[in-house]
Structure 1
Amino acid sequence: MVAIKNPYEGLPEHGCFCCSSKNPIGLKLSFWYDETNQTVETRWLPELNYQGYHGVLHGGIQSTLMDEVASWCIYILEGTAGVTHSMEIVYSKPMLIGKGQVVVRGRIDNREKRLVTVHVELFDGESNLCTTGKIKYFVFPPEIAKSKYGYPGRDAFLDGGE
C-alpha cells in the first residue's frame, strides 16, 4: 500500500468535508493505493456524533465515505476527475461504532464511454463487510479535468510515481 498525497491540501480554498484537514467538522480522510489489487482505500475511526440509531454509523455518513473513495479511485485508477452520476448502496448489516477503525475500499468495476462504475465496500473495525456500493461517475477527459476543474494529474497524488 502506498500513501496517496492530497495535492488539494495546499489550496487555501480546499475545505472538502471528507478530505480536507482544514474543515473543522470534516472527516479528515487519508487514502492509500494498492497497485497489485488496483484498489484505493481509506481508514477512519467513527465517533458517536456520526450515529443514526444508537451506536450505529449513520447511513448517510457511510454513503459519503463510499462516494469519496469512489472519487479517489477516479483520480488514481482512471487518471482524471469526475462527478457522481448515481449511487446504489446496499446496507447488509449495521455498522457499529466502537468496533475500531472502519475500512472503505474501492475498485473500478466497469467502464462505458464516460461513465465509470466503482465497486466500494465498507468494513467495520472487526473486518466484517457491512455495506457495498456501485457508484457511477461521469468522468471528464483528462485535459478537461485539468483545464476546467483543477485536476493536477495522477502523478501529483503519487509523488511522481508509484
Structure 2
Amino acid sequence: MTDVTLSLQERAAPQMQCFCCGPAHPTGLRIRSFWDDSGEFVLMRHTPRPEFLGFPGLVYGGLLAMLVDCHSGWTAMAWHYRQEQRPPESSPAIQCVTGNMNIDYLKPTPMGVELQLKAWVDGPVTRKSRVLCEIWAGDVMTVRADTLFVRADTDRLRAQAHLPSSLVSSLGR
C-alpha cells in the first residue's frame, strides 16, 4: 500500500537535490505536489520565505517562475505515470525537462500569503506535453503559465551533458 501523504516528489525521487523540488536538498524549498481530489489537477501550496522578497511587499518574480517550472514538470510526470497506470515510485523513473515556459504576471503577488499552484496537462500526454499552471494568492490569480515539458531519456541526457554517472544518480533516485 502506498502512503498517499507523501508528495509526488517524495514518492518518485526522494534523493533528488533540486533546489526547488528536491526532497533531499538541505536548504531548498522542497515543494510538495499532489493530485487534487478530482484527479484533474496537480496542486501545490507554498508560502514564500522572506529572502524571496522582490519589490517591497511583493514576491520576487524569479521565485514564481521557479515554482511554476518545477510544479509544472511534476505535473507532466504525474500525468505520464497515470497514463502508464503505475505509481510514481515504480521503475523506471519518468523524467521530464522544460522545453519552453511562457509566464504572464497578471497581478502583483503579495508576500506573507500562502500561494496555491494549480496545474494540468492540456492536450495529449506524449513525449512533448503542454502544461498550464496558475498561481493563486487567496482568491486572486496572480500568474498564468503555458509550458512545454519533454519526457527525457536520462541516459541520453547524461551523455549529452557529459555528466558522470554518480552526479546523474543524485539527480533522480
Using the size of structure 1 for normalisation, the TM-score is: 0.76
Structure holding more helix per residue: 2
Q: Output aligned runs, 1:48-87, within 5 Å.
A: 48-79=50-81, 80-87=94-101
Alpha-carbon distance between aligned partners in 1 of 2:155 and 2:123, rounded to the nearest angstrom: 23
Alpha-carbon distance between aligned partners in 2 of 1:44 and 1:30, rounded to the nearest angstrom: 9
- Give yes or no for the alignment of 1:132 onto 2:144: yes
Q: Residue 123 of structure 1: SS of its match in structure 2?
A: strand
5+ long unaligned stretches in structure 2: 82-93, 158-167
Alpha-carbon distance between aligned partners in 1 of 2:156 and 2:127, rounded to the nearest angstrom: 17
Distance 1:73 1:146, change over 3 A: farther
Contact 2:80 2:125 in 1 (8 A): no
The share of aligned pairs that are identical, in percent, is 22
Q: Residue 68 of structure 2: SS of its match in structure 1?
A: helix
Corresponding residue number in structure 1 for 2:132: 119
Instruction: Give 1:112 shift.
Output: 7.7
Alpha-carbon distance between aligned partners in 1 of 2:27 and 2:139, rounded to the nearest angstrom: 26
Corresponding residue number in structure 2 for 1:108: 121
AA at the equivalent of 2:145:
G
5+ long unaligned stretches in structure 1: 153-162
- Give yes or no for the alignment of 1:23 onto 2:36: no
Structure holding more strand per residue: 1
Provide the aligned length of Structure 1 versus Structure 2.
143
Instruction: Give 1:102 shift.
Output: 0.6
Using the size of structure 2 for normalisation, the TM-score is: 0.72
